[in-house]
A and B are shown apart, each in its own frame.
Chain A
């Protein structure tokens, strides 16, 4: 058997050697093409040997953070109306607070409450951008919500902000659960907001967020045009901006959804903040009315 095989092989080799060069080349090409043919057919055929099905889905855009009035009410309920320079300091009972010499004192600050609600956010930035026509400085404090009126201390200004619920909730709020959020409060109820001095996060001490000014040294006016790094962003080539119209930017970073804890479980949260508008005593004059604009923004950073 083997001999026959070997004989056959030898015959074939002899035959091959006996061919002319042209014939050799043709034979080799034919053999290669056959081999290629045999291997490509199964590969191509595999493609048509399946059935396919598909379904399409739309991805929801994350609505992570919302800014609203106190108690998650619609932002139209957040009002900073006129500040009356003639207002006199009174304590919680309505009695005037006199200074050391027995004179009346004019009020030097006013507080407003706003709310940041979100979901799946751990840390965020609060930014204020405001014009500087009035000699105001702004401070942001962490606040807590109370359903009962805090105690009044005679001879001291009240340290809470009252807010009466209008019943107009803001849209698209995530579902909140927990007694802290007082979800059962109804329209007409008055809620009280006090500075939460226990909060020490996000660069805050006793609830006050120090933050930093991005383009100002003292917060009462923006830097000069050439040193203000945000001037060109806002005004491009224009050079004739009124000094007090240029916005001052202030930011508090690393403000937590849950102070002292992380939000690993993407839970919904709701936090209140007090915006305090302050001015040095005696610097406001009702006859020299000025208007300022302030923008409050929040941005998630995690």
Chain B
């Protein structure tokens, strides 16, 4: 019938049947097409999902740098941290000070011993946190105290590594503990003395009892007052504002530097302590290539400046400087100012609430703009010195901690 070229359109039932067949066929074709496309979509969707899962896992393992992960079957490898950090041993052997005094430092370990080029070091290994060793210097610091942070990087790759270093100062107060003594409905508070686990008093070398104290990290006023309250030290609790202010001033007064200056000049006016101030407390440095398994020093110096003149005076033309300037005051040819001095002055201006006690007084900003005038210098110095006095009377210990990470 279909083959008949001379199809007769008068044959309607036949034509209808043919048409419906054609529609059926068309429908079938569309459905098949639809099914084919559906299968395609499912295949595509499945592949996309599988690819995204693989990508997530691959990038995740790169982020966590876990050394234990090494899958051969799944074809995932984790890249290691490209360096260790280490501290160099001093000549005296076990050179860690005060490490057992503060619970926050218990995560920090002495590290694994390693000898590089006949020098002893201790490096991070099983622990990621390292206690630095002190090499020289006083164990008690006051204004004028300074030192070098004994930090080295030991690369374990040959390429050059960029590292980002962040430094931080955390102050602690040592508060006397008091015992509560209840007499009827009255409570009095007496100083507590150290006892051993059997309840007997611990005596010092001269046979005297030792006052029991608690190390308190100074964070916010309410936190400090609460901690002082738990040891019944109401004097410290009511003084919380001053403790918090002292903590802020300590953070503001300690400055960090990247290199030593010139301390051997004949005239004091030509000497200066350091170069490269890190006023942002963060810097990036490059460990040169081909230093695998060598100990490369990351020079970081810190200073609690004694007098304001050492930071704020451009030079000693005003004769107001007492002590040696922190950074050089020589203006290089072609420039209008010494950039390091300018950076320190900017630091003072931006952080004045953390450096001076009188930064909110009238005329302070104007004085800070021109510190060389005797009247201005006196105002600024008063604020700086009373901040130092507050630090000395409230802060007992502080920790400088350094975070080292690859810079990307």
Contacts and interface: CB of A to CB of B under 8 A. Distances in A.
Interface of A: 11, 37-38, 41-42, 45-46, 48-62, 64, 120, 122, 262, 264-267, 300, 302
B203 interface: no
Contacts of A59: 140-142, 250, 391-392, 395-398
Contacts of A38: 56
Contacts of B128: 48, 50-52
B213 interface: no
A54 B401 contact: yes
A46 B166 CA distance: 15
A265 B322 contact: yes
Interface in B140-165: 140-143, 145, 149-151
Given A51-B128, A60-B141, A264 B381 contact: yes
> Nearest 6 CB-CB pairs, A to B?
A265-B322, A45-B63, A60-B142, A264-B381, A62-B392, A54-B401
Interface in B362-401: 377-378, 381-382, 385-386, 388-389, 391-393, 395-401
B307 A266 contact: yes
Contact of B141 (A48, A49, A57, A265): A57
B131 A50 contact: no
A246 B6 CA distance: 143
Nearest to A37: B56
Given A56-B99, A60-B141, A264-B381, A49 B130 contact: no
Given A62-B389, A62-B392, A265-B322, A52 B63 contact: no
Nearest to A60: B142
Q: Is the interface of B mostly helix, strand, loop or mixed?
A: mixed
A214 to B, nearest CB: 23
A54 B129 contact: yes
B147 to A, nearest CB: 8
Nearest to A62: B392
B191 interface: no
A48 B63 CA distance: 9
Interface stretch (B81-89, B204-212, B219-227, B334-342): B81-89
A122 B309 CA distance: 16
A42 B98 CA distance: 36
A136 B285 CA distance: 72
B389 A64 contact: yes
B64 interface: yes
Given A53-B131, A54-B401, A55-B131, 13 more contacts: A48-B128, A49-B81, A52-B401, A53-B132, A54-B399, A55-B97, A56-B105, A57-B139, A57-B141, A57-B399, A59-B142, A264-B382, A264-B385
B60 interface: yes
A274 B236 CA distance: 37
Contact of B377 (A42, A55, A264): A264
A52 B129 contact: yes
Contacts of A53: 85, 87, 108, 124, 129-132, 149, 151, 401-402, 404
B102 interface: yes
A36 to B, nearest CB: 12
Contacts of A37: 56
B280 to A, nearest CB: 18
